[in-house]
Structure 1
Amino acid sequence: MAEPTEKEISVPSPGKAAIPVLLTSPPKGVKHSGFALLLGPGAGGNEKTALLTAVANEVARQGHFCARYRAKVPNLGFRVSVCTRVMEHLFHPTKGVHPQKGCFLGGHSMGTRVAGTVAAQLAVGSTVSEPATVKKAPATKGKKAAAAPAKKAAASTAASVDSNFPTDFIPGLVLFSYPLHTADNTKALRDQILLDIPSTTATLFVSGLKDNMCQPSIFAKVFKEMKSTPREVVQVTDADHGLGFGSSKPAQAKKEALAEAISEWTVAFMDEAIAHIDDASSKKKTAAKKTGASADEVTKKKAELRKEADEWTVAVSTVA
C-alpha cells in the first residue's frame, strides 16, 4: 500500500504571522472518509513530536486527513485561536482547502486543553475560558487594584470560535495526557474544560498511571462527572506524562510500541464515532447486540506492555 504524503504548509492568519502546519494526506487510491483530525502539541513540544507523527501517519493511512499545528507561545487563548484558524482554513465544510464533514480535535498535554476548549465553544456558540491562576496583588494597593490582574489574565485565555462552523462539526476528541493539574499542585484543577465538553462529543483519553499531572484518583472523579458520551479512557501502566518510560534504550522501544498502539486506538475511536454519525440508530442496535451495552457507555481500560520475542506488545483489558 502507498504511504501517506506529508507536506509543510503555512496557514495565513490575518494580522498575525502565518501558522506552520504539517498536513498528512491519505495515500493515493485510499478513499477519503470526509473527516479530519487536527492535533496540537504540548507546551514544550511541536508538530514533529514522535507520538503526534505516528498518529498522523496511521490516521491518514485509513483515509482521514490529519494536520498538526505549531504553537510556541504557551498561552491557552493564543493556542485556541491558532487551532481554530487552522481548522477553518483547511477543513471548513464550505470554505476549507480540504473541506470536511467534520473534524476531530486532540493532541498532547496543553494541546488537549485547546481541543476541549474549542469543542465546548463551538457547541454553544460563545466563549468558554479556563479560570486563570492569578498571583495575589499587594494589599497596600487596595481592592480595586488587586482585581485588575485577574481581569487581564482571564482575558488572555479567552478566544471565541467562529460561529460559521456547524455546531456539530467536532464529533470527537482524542486527548493524550490531559494535564488535570500541575506537577506540584493537585488542588488547582483544570477540570472545567472537561466538564464543558458537550454530551454529543465523543472523547478518548490516553493517560499514564505515573503521570504527575493527572493523578488517577482525581481524574476518576472528573471523568465520572463529564457529560461527553461515549467516552473512554485507556490508562497505561508505568507510563509518565510524555507517555514514555524513561530514557534507556529498552524504554525507547517500549515508547515506540505504545505510540503504535495509541495510533490504532485513535483510528478505531474515530471510525466508531463516524459510523455512529452515519447511522446513529443502527449503530446503537448493533452495539447493543454485540456487547449487550448502550452505545453511549463509559469505558475504562488498562494497558500493559509486555515483551515477547524481543518485541514489546500492548495488552488492553477493560476495567470494571
Structure 2
Amino acid sequence: MAGFAEVKVKIPFGNKYLNAIFSVPDKILTHGVILTHGAGGDMNFSHLVSLVDYLASRGLLCLRFTCKGLNIAYRTKAYKTVVEYLKSSGEYKLSGVFLGGRSMGSRAAVSVTRQISQDDNEDFIRGLIFLSYPLHRPKLQSKLRDEDLFFIKCPVLFVSGSEDEMCEKKILEGVASKMKTPTKIHWIEKANHGMAIKGRTPDDIMMEISTQVFLWIKEIIEQEYK
C-alpha cells in the first residue's frame, strides 16, 4: 500500500465555492474517483472517508466534495462542475474517472453521467459506484427513482444492504436486469440504508465495501488495457 496526501481545494460554483479534498497517492495510477455524500452530512462522512483512504492508498486519485443542497437538480449541477474541474486540471492527468456517492449522492452521480453522455458523447467516465442507492422512499416502492439508470452506458456497481428500507432487494435486482450496461450488485447482508448491522463494527463493514469497490475498479481498468 502506498501513502497519500490530502489537499483541500475550493471549486468555483456559480457565485460560491464547493469545499473539496483531493487524496493524492504517492504514485497515481491512471484513473481517479469522485465521491459525494447523501442528503445529510458532508464530504467527511465516515463511509466516504473510509472508502477514500482505502482507494487512495492503492494508487487511485480521489476527490470528495460537499454540496448541502437537497434539490437533486442542484446537486447534479454541482457534481458536473466538480467533474469538469477535475477533467480540466493541469496537475492531474487521468485516463478516466469513476463517479460515485452515498444515497442521494449516488443519484446525483447517475444524473450527471446521463447529462454528460448526452452532451459530449463522454468517455471520460469509466464507471459508477452507488453506496446505498435510494431506489425508493421507505414503504413507497411504487415510485421508483430508476429513470436515469436506463440511460447509463458505463459499468455500474451497486453496494446495498439486503435490508435497506430505501432499496428493496428484489426491486433493485429487477431494475439492474433491465439496464443496458454491465451491472454488479454487492449485497451487504442484513445491513440497513445506513449500512449498520447488529454484531458487526462499522470498520469491518467498510472494509468489506472498500475491498469490493477497489476490486471492481481494478477489473474495469485491467480490461481497458487488454
Residues 96, 87 of structure 1: alpha-carbon distance in 2 compared, 3 angstrom cutoff: farther
1:103 lines up with 2:50 in the alignment: no
Q: Which residue of 2 aligns with 1:12?
A: 12
Residues 105, 2 of structure 1: alpha-carbon distance in 2 compared, 3 angstrom cutoff: closer
Q: After superposition, where does 1:73-152 map in structure 2 within 5 Å? A: 73-90=69-86, 92=87, 94-125=88-119
Q: Secondary structure at the match of 1:182?
A: coil
Q: Which residue of 2 aligns with 1:304?
A: none
Task: Return the letter of the residue paired with 2:177.
Answer: K
Question: Contact between 2:2 and 2:58, CA under 8 Å: does it hold in 1?
Answer: no
Q: Secondary structure at the match of 1:171?
A: strand
Instruction: Summarize deviations over 1:119-172 as a string: whole Å, max 9, x none.
Output: 2222222xxxxxxxxxxxxxxxxxxxxxxxxxxxxxxxxxxxxx4xx6111010
CA–CA distance in 1 between the matches of 2:141 and 2:91?
Answer: 42
Q: Which residue of 1 aligns with 2:144?
A: 189
Query: Residue 52 of structure 1: which of 48, 51, 64 is its match?
Result: 48
CA–CA distance in 1 between the matches of 2:15 and 2:181?
Answer: 34
Unaligned runs of 5+ residues in structure 2 are: none
CA–CA distance in 2 between the matches of 1:96 and 1:116?
Answer: 26
Q: Which residue of 2 aligns with 1:221?
A: 174
Residue 24 of structure 1 deviates from its aligned partner by 0.7
Question: Contact between 2:128 and 2:155, CA under 8 Å: does it hold in 1?
Answer: yes
Q: After superposition, where does 1:247-266 map in structure 2 within 5 Å? A: 250-251=199-200, 253=201, 255-266=202-213
Question: Contact between 1:37 and 1:66, CA under 8 Å: does it hold in 2?
Answer: yes
Question: Contact between 2:161 and 2:195, CA under 8 Å: does it hold in 1?
Answer: yes
Q: Which residue of 2 aligns with 1:212?
A: 165
Q: Which residue of 2 aligns with 1:63?
A: 59
1:234 lines up with 2:186 in the alignment: yes
Identity across the alignment (%): 31
CA–CA distance in 1 between the matches of 2:157 and 2:4?
Answer: 24
Query: Residue 178 of structure 1: which of 98, 117, 133 is its match?
Result: 133
Q: Secondary structure at the match of 2:35?
A: strand
Task: Return the letter of the residue paired with 1:244.
Answer: A
Question: Contact between 1:109 and 1:179, CA under 8 Å: does it hold in 2?
Answer: yes
In the alignment of these two chains, the number of paired residues is 226
Query: Residue 270 of structure 1: which of 206, 217, 225 is its match?
Result: 217
CA–CA distance in 2 between the matches of 1:185 and 1:112?
Answer: 19
Question: Contact between 2:166 and 2:193, CA under 8 Å: does it hold in 1?
Answer: yes
1:244 lines up with 2:196 in the alignment: yes
Higher relative CO (Cα under 8 Å, sequence separation at least 6) belongs to 2
Greater gyration radius:
1
CA–CA distance in 1 between the matches of 2:210 and 2:129?
Answer: 10
Task: Return the letter of the residue paired with 1:239.
Answer: A
Instruction: Summarize deviations over 1:146-205 as a string: whole Å, max 9, x none.
Output: xxxxxxxxxxxxxxxxx4xx611101011111100001311111011211211xx11111
Unaligned runs of 5+ residues in structure 1 are: 126-162, 280-320
Residue 95 of structure 1 deviates from its aligned partner by 4.5
Q: Secondary structure at the match of 1:63?
A: coil
Instruction: Summarize deviations over 1:2-42 as a string: whole Å, max 9, x none.
Output: 532122211122x321100021111x3x3x21210000110
Q: Normalising by the residue count of structure 1, what TM-score does the alignment of the two structures yield?
A: 0.67
